[in-house]
Structure 1
Amino acid sequence: MDSKDILSQEEGQDKAVDFREILFNYLVHWKWFVASIIVAMGIAFFILARKNNVYTVTASVLMKNDKSGATPDMLMMESLGMASVKNNLENEVEIMRSKNVMLQVVMDLELYTNYVMKKGMRKIDLYKDTPIELSIDSATVRSLVFPITIHAVPKSSEDYDVKVSYNGENKSLVLTANPLPVNIGDISFTMTRNFAVQLPEEDIIITVSNPRNMANYLSKAIVADALSKGSTILTLSLNTFNIAKAKDVLNRVVFYYNELSMAEKNRVALNTERFIDERIVSISKELGNVEKQAENFRKAHKLTDVKNEGEKFTTELSETEKKLFELETQLNLVDYVDQFVSNKQHVYTPIPYLGITDAGFSELINKYNQMLLVRERLLRSSSEDNPLIADINHDISDLRKGVLSGIISVRKGLNIEKKDLQAKNRQLNNMVASVPEVERELTEIMRQQSIKDKLYVFLLEKREENSLNKTLTVPVASIVDTPDVTGGPVEPNKPKTFLIAFVFGLSIPALFIFLKDMFNVKFKDRMDVERLTSVPVLGEIAKNDTGDQFVVKAKSTAPIVELFRLVRNSLQFMLNEPDKKVINVTSTVTQEGKTFFSMNLALSFALTNKKVILVGLDIRRPQLKKHFSIMTNKGITSYLSGQETDLDGLIVPSGMSEYLDLLPAGPIPPNPNELLTNSRLDQVFEILREKYDYIIVDTAPVGMVSDTFLLNRLADVNLYVTRANYSSKKYLALLNSYVADKRLTSTYLIVNAVDMQAHSYSYRKYGYGYGYGYGSKYSYSSAYGYGGNGSDENQKNKKRKKCWF
C-alpha cells in the first residue's frame, strides 16, 4: 500500500470516541470498584453511627415596628407627643442575634457548661437531665482562657471516678453523694450528684468554656428570616441535638431582645425626665423670687386693691400681654433647647421634647432623636468602625446642624412677632398713662409672676406625661408560634450519605484508572495503536512465554503460531505479483522483537514449501548468527565490501527447514551506511529475487540509525514492529512522520507481545478471542527483542505475582 493511501488523513486527526471501549476499560477492573464501594459504604456507616440526629426548632415572632402593628398603648404614646420609632427589620434582626443578647441567654441558661454522655459511638446531650451538676461562679466563667474538661467514669452504683483537666493540669477525684469541691489552677468550683436523675452506666463528659465562645456560636447558628416580603413576622430557627435546649434558647433570645429594646426606648424618657426636673428647680426659684417681690411691693406701697381705671385699655393690654407671655414661653423653650444642644456632652443624647409650637422644628427634633436611637441599637452589635455607624454619625451631624439652624430661625420669627406686640403694647401703655405709676409697676410684677407660674405648671404637666410614657413601654417582639421542632431530623441524611459514599466509591478507582491511563506513555494492544496512527495494523503477535525464540513449528496449533499464519496470509495476499517478494522488518528501538518476528515469519513462509531467505541487514548489531548458531563469520557485508565475490557461498541453510536459507550480516563494517548505498546491494537482491519466493530482511531500528531508510528502495513491504507495554506512544508519532515524508513506503504495523490473557484484552475483543478452539489461556512471554531472546526478562515475568495494582 502506498504511503499516500495510508496517510490520507492529516496526522493526529481525532478519531471517533468509542464509549464502549472506554466502558470496557473500566469494567475490567470491576474488583477495584467493588472493593472501593464496600470501603466507602463502610466509612459512611461508621460516620452515621457516630452522628447524632439534628433537628430544626423554629419559632415565629411578630415585630411591632409600624402603625399597622401598633397596640392601643403605642397609639396613646403618639397622641401624647412621644412619636414611635419605625424599626428597620434587618437592623432588628442583627440586634436580636447580637453577641450581647446571646451572652445574656448563655449566662441565664448556663450554656457555657455542656454535659454529654458517651453511648456507644455517639455522645448524648444531657441538658437538664444530667446526674452530675457543676456550680461555678459567673465571674470565674467569664475569665476562663482555657476550657475545663471533666471525665466522670462510673465507679459503683453511687460513685464516680472523676478526672479534671484545666490548662495542662490534671486531677483525679472521687464524687460521692456529698458535694465535691474542686480546686485546680487558679479556679475553683463544686460538683454535686443530682439524685433526681438515675445514675447511668456510661461515662459523663462535662466541658466548661468561656460564655463568649458559646455566644459567638449562637449568634451564627440562629437563622432569622422574614416570613414573606414586606412581612414583620420573623421565623427564628436553630439546628440542635437537644430539642428542649433549642426551645429554651429561642424563648430567652426573644425575652432579652425585648428587655434591650424597652431599655433603649426608655432612654429618651429618662433623659427628658432629668432635664425637666432641673428646669422645675430653676423655675421654682425664679417664681418664688417674683412672688416675694410682689409681696414686698404691696407692703411698701400699702396696696390692698387695684383700681379699675382705664378698664378698656387694660383689657386690650391684657390680651397683648397674654400673647407676649406665650411668645416669652416659646422663647424660653427655644433657649432651653439651645442650651441643651450647644452642650458638647449632649452630642449623642436625645433632645427633650417640650412642646415648641413650630411644627417643622418639632418634626426635626423628633427625627434627630429617632436617628440617635438607631445608632444606639447598632452600637450594641457592632463597633464605631462599622461603615453603617459612620453613615449614621454623618446623618446625625447633618440633623444637629439643622436643629441649630432651626433654633436660629424659630427664635428670629418669635423675636419679630415679639417686637410687633411690644410696639402695640407701648401704644396701649401710652393710652393708660393716666393710671397711677404704682399700679403699672405692680402690674409688671404680677405679669412676671404669671409667666413663671404658667411655665412651672407646664413643666409639671410634661413631667407627668413623660412618666406615663415610661409606664406604657411595651415589648417590640412577641412570639406568635412557640418554639417547636419541624418534622423529623434534618441530619444526618442517610440516603444522601450512602449515595455520596457510593459515588465516591465509584469515582476513586475511576479517577485512578483515568490518571493511570493518562500518564501511561505506552500502548497495550492494537486498538491503542490504531488510535494513534493511520498506518494500517497488519496483525498482532501474542506474548512468547515459552523461552524458545523459534515458536513457529510444523503442525503446531499454538495461538501464537496461528497469529503468525494470519500475518503470513495477509502478506501473501498483498504480494500477489511475481516481482513482489522483499519484506523489510524494522522497529523504532531495540528490544521490540524485530529479529524474533523476522525469524518466525520466515519459518511460517517456509512451512508453505516456499523458498524463503532471511537476510541480516542489521549490520551494526547482527543477531541472526547467534540465534541460528552460524559458524562462519562471512556474510553480506563481505560481498558488499568486495572481500567475497561468490554470493552463493555466503548463503547458509537455516537448519530449521529445508525451504529456509540464511544470508547473515557478516563482520561489522566501519562504513555501514556507505555499504548500503552500494549498487552491489541492488545486484544481490536481483539475484535473490530470481532464486527465492520470499525475501525477509532483518533491518536496523529506524529510531537509532538511518540504515533502514536506505533499504526502502529494495522493499515491496515494510513491516514496522512495535511491542505492547514497552514501546512508547511517541514512537508512533515518529512512524507517522517517516511515512508522511515517504522515507518508508508500503508500511504496515505489527503489534508484538500482546497480552492475550489480560481481561482488558478480552473485553476489547467483545468476546471474540484468538485461537479458534485452541484455548484461551495464553502463557507467552514478551522476552525477546533486539539483541537476544530476553530470557532474563522472561524469568522476571514468571516471578511476578497477580495483583489488582
Structure 2
Amino acid sequence: MDNSIKSMMAFQEEESIDLKKEVNRYLNFWPWFILATIIMVFSAYVYLRYAPKIYQTNAKVKILDESDGLELPTSAFIFKRSNINLENEIEILTSYIIIERVVRELNLNTKFFEVGTIQTSPVANLPFEYEQLVHQDSIIKSSTYEVNIENSKFRIVNNTNEKVYEFSNHNTFSSEHDLPFNIRYNTEASSEDVIGKTFLINFNTVKMAALSLKSQIEVEAIGEQSDLLQLTLRGESFELSENIINTLLDVFNKDGITDRQLVSQRTIDFIDNRFEFLASELDDIEVDRQEFKQKNNLVDLGTDAELGLEQRTKSDEEVFRIENQLALAELLNDALVSTNGSSLLPANFGLDNQGINNLINEYNTAVLERDKLTSSAGANNPSVKLVVSTINDLETNIKRSLTSYITQLKMSQGQIKSRNRRFIGQVSQIPEKEKLLRAIERQQKIKESLYLLLLQKREEAAINLAITEPSIKVVENALSSVKPISPKSSIIYAGALLAGLLIPFGFLYLMFMLDTKLHGKDDITNITTDIPVIAEIPDLKKKENIIFTDPNDRSALAESFRILSSNVDYILPVKDNKKSNVIYCTSTIKGEGKTLVSLNLSLALSSINKKVLLIGADLRNPQIHSYISEDKHKPGLSNYLHEIEFNWKDAIINGFDKHPNHHIILSGSIPPNPAHLLTNGRFKDLIEEAKKDYDFIIVDTAPTILVTDTMLISQLADATIYIARANYTEKNLLNYSKELHESGRIKNMAYVLNSVGASKSYGYGYNYGYNYGYGTKS
C-alpha cells in the first residue's frame, strides 16, 4: 500500500508542470518571436503586393421545360418534379462543342498580358489598336510575341525564334512584315500613358484554348428541387470572365433553340416535297374530268336519282374519309422507311389515330436527345446507346401501329364498298358515264383535301419555327466580386502572425525537447531530493576576474562563493573538538568547473579569516596551476606521495597576496600510477598533519566517472561537493552521482551547480547584484 502511494505521489510530481516557468522559458526568446513576426508580416505584405488577384464571376440561369404549356394545372402537375435533367444540361453546357463556339466567338485562343516589374498579368484588351491577320484554325502551335512600346517605335520580339521587329511611329499597318497581327498606337489620342511598358500577345490552338476554358468553368445546381444553375469562373480579369460567361449563355441558348426548331423545319421540308406530287396529281385529275365531260356530253344529274344519290353521297363521304386516312398513313409509312431511325418524322399532319401521333412525338424527342448526347458524350456513351435503343423500339412500335391502322382502314373500306354495291342497285338507272364522272370528282376532292391539309400543317410548322421559345431564362447576368477572392489579405496576415509565433515556438519546443543538459536547480531536484544543492554559481560572459582574489570583492561571483562557503557549514558534521574539516570537490566528467569551484571556495573561506589549504589531488589532469600562473611540473602532491624524504610543507604556495591564510599544494609531476600513490598511506598522513595547521582542507579531486582516484580516498572527506555545470552536464550523469551517494561510496555529498544562467532559453537567471543589493563590483 505504501509503495503504491509513493509511486502515485511520484507520478503526480512528474506530471505537475510549472506553467509560469514554461512560459518564461519561451518569453526569454521574445526577440526571436518579434523578429519572426516582422519577417512573416513583411513576407505577407510582399506576397499580397505582387500575388495575382483572382476574382470570381457568377451567373444564374433557369433551364426552361419544353413540356410547359398554357394548360390548367392538374394534381399531377402540382406534385410532379420538373422533367428537366439538370445533369444532362450541365454536361451540354460544358461540352467541348459549346465551349469551342465561345472560344471562336471571343477569339480566346489569342490572349494578352501586361508585363510588370515582378509579375505578368492578363488583360482583356490591349491599350492600342489590334488587328489579327491569321485565322483561328491556321494556328497550329503556341507562340508568344513581346511588344515593347518605346518613345517613337514598337519593338516586337518573337519569343519562339528570338526574331526582332522594329516599327517607327508606333504603327505596323504601313509596313510589310510576317507578323500574325497589326497594331497601332496613337500617342495624341490615347489617354493612357503606355510608353515604356511591355505587353505579350500569346497565340494558342483553338483546341487547347477550349480545353483550358472547359477545365475552368464550374456549373452546379442551386438546391435539389430547383431548375436553376450557377456558373462560376475565376480569373485575374473580371471583365474577360464576365464576357466569357455571358457569351457561353448566349451560345447555349441558341443551341437549344436550334434543336427545337429542327422538328418544325423537318416538317416544312417534308410537306414541300409532297406538294410537288399533289399538284401534279390534281392537274391530271382536272384534265381527266374535263375530257370525260366533253367526250360524254355531261352537264347535270337527273332529278330522279336524287334520292338514291343522297344515300350514295353519305357512303361516299365515309369512303373519302377512309381513303384520306389511308393515303396519310402510307405517306407516313414511306417517310418512316426512308428515315430508318436517323431523321425526324412529320408530326400532327392529319392522322386520326392519337396513339400513332403520340408515338411520333416520343420518337422525335428521342432523336433530338440522341443528337445532343452524341455531340457532348460520343456515340459509345451508355446514355447514347440507351437512347438509340429507345428510338429503335419506338420505330418498331410506329411501324406496327401503322400496319395495324392500315389494315383496319382497308377492312372498313371493304365493308363500305360492299354497302355501296347495294346502293348501286338502287340507282342503276344512272348512266354508267355519270358514275365514272363521280369517281373522277371523288379523286379530285381527296387530292384537294389532302393538299389543303398539308398546306395548313405547313403554316403551323412555319409559325412554330418563327416563335420558338428560348432554352434558358437568365436570372442573373455575369457579376464579379468587388474584392478578389484570392489572396485574402486578412487570412494571409493572420496566417503570417500565427506563423511568426509558431515557427520560433516550434523551433524552441524541438530544441527543448531534444535538450538533455542541466540548466538549473530544478533539474537536479527532479532527479534526486536526497542530495541538497547548496549553491548555484553564475555564468560569467567575460572570462576575466573569475578568481576571488580580493577578499572585499562584491561581484556576483564573489557573492555566490560566499553563499557556498556559508552553506558548506550546514553539511559538515558537528565535531566536539575544533579539528579542521576536509572538503572534496569533484565532478562526473572534466570541464564541469570543479577546479574553479574548489579554488574560489578556498578563497572565500580564507576571506573570512579561516586558514585554508587547497590540495590539487587530480594527478592525471591538474588545472590549479593555470589559475595562479605556476609551472605545471612544480613539486607538489605527487612528489610527496612518491618520495618519502619530501616534506609536503616544502610544496606549499601562497598564490594570492590578499589572502595570507590561503595556501596551495599543486598536483606536481604527472605520475604513471596515480591510484597506487593515493593509496600508499602518505595522502592520509598529509591530511592528518594538515588538520593541525588549517581550519579547512579543500581537495580538488579527479572526475568520478573517468577514474577511481576519488573513490580510493573518499573516506577521508568530511563532505564532498559534487560539481555539475549548467548547459554542459547531461542529466543522465546525475544518476551516477546519485548511485555513489546511495551506495555510500561518497558520504555527506552536496551539489553545486556551476555556470547557472548560461542559457536563458530555459528560464534560469542568476542576478546576485539584484537579489542581495550589491553592484557588479565595488
Q: Contact 1:144–1:209 (CA<8 Å) still a contact in 2?
A: no
Aligned runs of 1:480-519 on 2, under 5 Å?
487=482, 497-514=492-509, 516-517=511-512
Following the alignment from structure 1 to structure 2, what is the Cα–Cα distance between the partners of residues 721 and 330? 119
Task: Say whether 1:541 aligns with 2:534.
Answer: no
Aligned residues: percent identity? 24
Partner deviation per Cα, 1:366-417 (whole Å, 9 max, x = no partner)? 455445545544666x5539xxx82422431342343145236535753774
In structure 1, how many angstroms separate the alpha carbons of the residues matched to 2:490 and 2:35? 20
Matching residue of 2:163: 170
Q: Distance in 1 between matches of 2:737 and 2:264?
A: 96
Question: Residue in 2 aligned with 1:353?
Answer: 347
Tell me, in whole angstroms, the C-alpha distance in 1 between the residues paired with 2:8 and 2:553.
39
Q: Is the 8 A contact 1:112 1:208 kept in 2?
A: no
Counterpart in the other structure of 1:395: 386
Q: Is the 1:240–1:246 contact (alpha carbons within 8 Å) kept by the matching residues of 2? A: yes
Give the match for residue 191 of structure 1. 183
Q: 1 CA distance for matches of 2:584 and 2:8?
A: 23
Write the distance in 2 (CA, Å) between the matches of 1:742 and 1:223.
Answer: 81
The corresponding residue for 2:76 is none
Shift of 1:488: 6.0
Q: Which residue of 2 aligns with 1:476?
A: 471
> CA–CA distance in 2 between the matches of 1:16 and 1:196?
79
- Indicate whether 1:590 and 2:590 are aligned: yes
1:582-661 pair list within 5 angstroms: 583-608=583-608, 618=618, 620-621=620-621, 623=623, 631-632=634-635, 635=638, 638=641, 653=652, 655-656=654-655, 658=661
Could you say what secondary structure the match of 2:775 adopts? Answer: coil
C-alpha change, 1:552 and 1:284, in structure 2 (3 Å) is: farther
Q: What letter matches 2:253 in structure 1?
A: N
Q: Which of the residues 726, 729, 733 maps onto 2:728? A: 726
1:108-257 equivalences under 5 Å are 108-109=105-106, 130-139=127-136, 142-143=139-140, 145-153=142-150, 155=151, 159-176=152-169, 179-180=172-173, 187-194=179-186, 196-198=189-191, 200=193, 202-210=195-203, 212=206, 230-232=225-227, 248-257=243-252
Aligned residue for 1:467, secondary structure, equals: helix
Say if 1:619 and 1:637, in contact at 8 Å, map to a contact too: no
Counterpart residue identity of residue 476, structure 1: S
> Tell me, which stretches of 5 or more residues in structure 1 are unaligned?
76-84, 779-805
Please point out which of 357, 374, 378 is paired with 1:384: 378
CA distance in 2, matches of 1:744, 1:428: 142
* Alpha-carbon offset, residue 260 of structure 1: 2.6
CA deviations 1:454-505 (Å, max 9, x no partner) are 6665544443332222111233334455656665666775555555544455
Q: Distance in 2 between matches of 1:136 and 1:679?
A: 110
Query: Is 2:299 the counterpart of 1:266?
Result: no
Q: 1:731 to 1:410 in 2, by over 3 A?
A: farther
The answer for the alignment partner of 1:570 in structure 2 is 567
Question: What SS class does the counterpart of residue 162 from structure 1 fall into?
Answer: strand
The Cα offsets for residues 685-726 of structure 1, whole Å up to 9 and x where unpaired, read as 995898676665544434444665677777665544333343
The 2-side partners of 1:16 and 1:463 are apart by: 95
Matches within 5 A, 1:402-441: 402-407=393-398, 410-411=401-402, 413-414=404-405, 417=408, 421=412, 424=415, 428=419
TM-score (normalizing by structure 1): 0.71
Deviation at 1:172, TM superposition (A): 3.8
CA distance in 1, matches of 2:752, 2:281: 123
Contact 1:327 1:414 in 2 (8 A): no
Partner of 2:330: 332
Q: Is the 1:11–1:533 contact (alpha carbons within 8 Å) kept by the matching residues of 2? A: no
Q: Contact between 1:25 and 1:760, CA under 8 Å: does it hold in 2?
A: yes
Distance in 2 separating the partners of 1:6 and 1:394: 80
Aligned residue pairs, count: 742
Which of 701, 726, 729 aligns to 2:703? It is 701
Separation in 1, partners of 2:275, 2:470: 31
CA 1:256–1:504: 2 relative to 1, 3 Å: same
Report the TM-score when normalising by structure 2: 0.73
In structure 1, C-alpha distance between the alignment counterparts of 2:201 and 2:138, rounded to whole Å? 8
> What displacement does 1:560 show?
1.4
Amino acid paired to 1:148:
Y
Q: CA deviation at 1:190?
A: 1.9
CA distance in 1, matches of 2:290, 2:735: 126
Rounded to whole Å, the distance in 1 between the matches of 2:262 and 2:743 is 95
Distance 1:542 1:448, change over 3 A: same
Contact 1:634–1:650, Cα closer than 8 Å, also in 2: no
Contact 1:651 1:663 in 2 (8 A): no
CA distance in 2, matches of 1:448, 1:744: 139
DSSP 3-state at the match of 2:469 = coil
Look up the match of 1:772.
772
Aligned partners of 1:150 and 1:207 also within 8 Å: yes
Q: What does residue 792 of structure 1 align with?
A: none
Partner AA of 1:397 in structure 2: V
User: 1:205: how far off?
Assistant: 3.1
Rate the CA distance shift 1:430–1:269 in 2: closer, same or farther, 3 A.
Answer: closer
Q: Distance in 1 between matches of 2:383 and 2:472?
A: 24
1:635–1:62 CA distance, 2 compared to 1 (3 A)? same
Q: Deviations over 1:660-687 (max 9, x none)?
A: 6759598646594x998x7969977995
What is the alpha-carbon distance in structure 1 between the residues aligned to residue 526 and residue 370 of structure 2? Answer: 72
Change over 3 Å in CA distance of 1:28–1:661 after alignment to 2: closer
1:465 counterpart (460, 466, 473)? 460
Distance 1:397 1:557, change over 3 A: same
Checking the alignment, whether the CA contact within 8 Å between 1:147 and 1:210 is kept in structure 2 is: yes
Mapped to 1, the partners of 2:732 and 2:386 lie a distance apart of 73
Q: What is the CA-CA distance between 1:146 and the residue it aligns to? A: 0.9
Contact 1:36–1:509 (Cα < 8 Å) also in 2: yes
Q: d(CA) in 1 for partners of 2:685 and 2:299? A: 167
Q: Do the aligned partners of residues 689 and 204 (structure 1) sit closer, same or farther apart at CA in structure 2, a change above 3 Å counting?
A: closer
Distance 2:639 2:6 in 1: 32
Provide the C-alpha distance between the structure 2 equivalents of 1:293 and 1:708, rounded to a whole number of angstroms. Answer: 148
Contact 1:37/1:505, CA 8 A, preserved across alignment = yes
Please give the alpha-carbon distance, in whole angstroms, between the structure 2 residues aligned to 1:666 and 1:177. 95
**1:3-28 Cα shifts (integer Å, max 9, x gaps):** xx999976997454444445444444
Q: Does the CA contact (< 8 Å) of 2:633 and 2:670 recur in 1?
A: no
Contact 2:113 2:122 in 1 (8 A): yes
Q: Give the Cα–Cα distance (whole angstroms) in 1 for the partners of residues 528 and 345 of structure 2.
A: 90
Q: 1:751 maps to which residue? A: 753
Distance 1:425 1:651 in 2: 161
Shift in CA distance, 424/363, structure 1 to aligned 2, threshold 3 Å: closer
Tell me, yes or no, if the aligned pair for 1:181 and 1:189 is still in contact at 8 Å: no
Alignment root-mean-square deviation, CA: 5.7
* Distance change in 2, residues 1:142/1:594 (3 Å): same
Distance 1:214 1:611 in 2: 97
